[in-house]
Amino acid sequence: MLIANNKKTVSPLAQIIKTEPDLISFLKEGDLIDVKVLEKTPRAVYFDLGKFGTGIVYGAEFLNARNVIKDLNVGDAVVAKIIDLENENGYVELSLAGAHKQKNWQELKEAKENEEVLTVKIIGANSGGLVANVSEIKAFLPVSQLSNEHYPRVDDGDKNKILEELKKLVGQEIKVKIIDLNPRANKLIISEKGVTEENVKELLSQYKIGDVINGIVSGIADFGIFVRFVDQPAIEGMVHISELDHRLIDNPKEIVKVDEEIKAKIIEIKEGQVFLSVKALKPNPWDFAKEKFSEGQTVSGAVYKYNPFGAYINLEHDLQGLIHVAEFGSLEEMKKNLEIGKQYQFVIESIKPEEKRIVLKLKK
């Protein structure tokens, strides 16, 4: 009579767990491990894991890594990812494809922590930013993270125009830093601005709030203008549209043009950025409003723009008045009586320089 032998063969890994439990804390699923090729077969590759026994790549993992495996020879050292500490045959199951990608993510994480500067090639663009390859992983560079040199200067914020400007950068190499990454979400965000800011911060230490600089208008957008410092071209400041003139303006092009040389006053330095004011160097016409005009006076003015409350009127001496929509009953009726750009006669109802307000009525 035969008696079945039910004794299970103890694998090297199980033996280590039993005799040296402290060692196994260094080996767990998901870990990367250095291994050497023991044997290649048409359907599997066996690896020497040293004290951890023998590893295997087979099945779907074999197919996924076939391009890597074809170049491997017995004795070659590679990095593998553990996907199962012990299968039914006592082997440690490994992944080569997963290991390669995980190693890349680990290197990128270290690059972020060390604030390394990387050179990347731009491979694509969309209206939100640029796409690059970093260590075989796709990275996204948002428009907001572009340097001043590459930031798209589009007047009206038209997405199609922005995209056209961004496409000009495809194929170029630029220096970036990693600012965010999430391997599980396959998200990698890079910044060009992060590289240039450090240099700019150092240069900006030479300046202080209140300094007046000579600059060249390097770009115009609907929200303001960019000004490159004449004595430090690496520094580019921004003048918000509200800091261009004491009167309300609809488009910065009314005040300046690209490549024009201007003077501007530094009003804020923050996190490597410098904000300027042009109007701070101009006399404030509201300081003299009551000397130029008086309540009840008849004045001539051109209709500048409508808003939900009425219409702004350009007056003499760089001042603006406002005529309320209530004077006409509705916005539509006001537009019938007041044409943009056309001159009309008005009566000044009130002047409040402290509120920068002159209220007008249409002269009848």
The domains of the chain are located at 12-99, 115-197, 206-281, 286-362
pLDDT of res. 2: 34
Q: For residues 296-314, b (16+ Cβ closer than 10 Å) or e, as one string?
A: eeebebebbeeeeebbbbb
Residues 12-99, CATH architecture: Beta Barrel (2.40)
- Over residues 312-323, the pLDDT tens digits come to 999 999 999 999
- Smallest CA-to-CA distance from 218 within 259, 168, 163, 265 is with 259
* Residue 301 to residue 184: CA distance in whole angstroms: 63
Rg of the chain taking only CA atoms, in angstroms: 34
Q: Who has greater pLDDT, 98 or 145? A: 145
Q: Would the pLDDT of 291 be above 80? A: yes
* Residue 126 to residue 201: CA distance in whole angstroms: 30
Q: Where are the alpha helices (DSSP H) in 214-269?
A: none
Q: Would the pLDDT of 96 be above 90? A: no
Which residue has 């008005």 as its token pair?
346
315 C-beta neighbours (distance < 10 Å), count = 23
**Topology classification of domain 206-281:** OB fold (Dihydrolipoamide Acetyltransferase, E2P) (2.40.50)
pLDDT of res. 4: 39
* Residue 321 to residue 324: CA distance in whole angstroms: 10
pLDDT grade for 6, boundaries at 50, 70 and 90: very low
In the predicted model, what is the mean pLDDT of residues 350-360? 94
Positive or negative torsion for Cα 268, 269, 272, 275? positive
pLDDT grade for 202, boundaries at 50, 70 and 90: confident
Contact 325, 308 (CB under 8 A): yes
Q: Who has greater pLDDT, 331 or 30? A: 331
What 3-state class would DSSP assign to 288? helix
Q: Which helix (H) or strand (E) holds 291?
A: helix 289-292
In the predicted model, what is the mean pLDDT of residues 169-180? 93
pLDDT grade for 268, boundaries at 50, 70 and 90: very high
- Over residues 214-225, the pLDDT tens digits come to 999 988 888 999
pLDDT of res. 345: 96
Lowest mean pLDDT among 18-27, 147-156, 165-174, 235-244: 18-27
* Residue 42 to residue 147: CA distance in whole angstroms: 52
* Residue 193 to residue 197: CA distance in whole angstroms: 6
pLDDT grade for 5, boundaries at 50, 70 and 90: very low
Q: Would the pLDDT of 100 be above 80? A: no
pLDDT of res. 15: 60
pLDDT grade for 26, boundaries at 50, 70 and 90: low
Contact 194, 145 (CB under 8 A): yes
Percentage of residues of the chain with pLDDT beyond 70 = 92
* Residue 138 to residue 332: CA distance in whole angstroms: 52
Angle CA 173–175–176, to nearest 5: 125
On average, the pLDDT of the chain sits at 88
Contact 79, 33 (CB under 8 A): yes
pLDDT of res. 66: 86
**Domain 115-197 grouped into CATH 3.60.21.10:** no
The CB-side HSE value for 26 (13 A sphere, CA atoms) comes to 9
Q: Would the pLDDT of 270 be above 80? A: yes
Angle CA 203–205–208, to nearest 5: 120
pLDDT of res. 19: 59
Q: Would the pLDDT of 156 be above 70? A: no
Q: Would the pLDDT of 28 be above 90? A: no
How far are the Cα atoms of 251, 255, 311 from residue 321, in angstroms, in the given order? 18, 19, 8
* Residue 249 to residue 139: CA distance in whole angstroms: 39
Q: Which residues contact residue 17 at a Cβ distance below 8 angstroms, ignoring those fewer than 6 apart?
A: 24
> In the CATH scheme, what is the homologous superfamily, with its name and number, of domain 286-362?
Nucleic acid-binding proteins (2.40.50.140)
How far are the Cα atoms of 244, 255, 267 from residue 281, in angstroms, in the given order? 10, 14, 11
- Over residues 64-82, the pLDDT tens digits come to 888 888 888 999 988 888 9
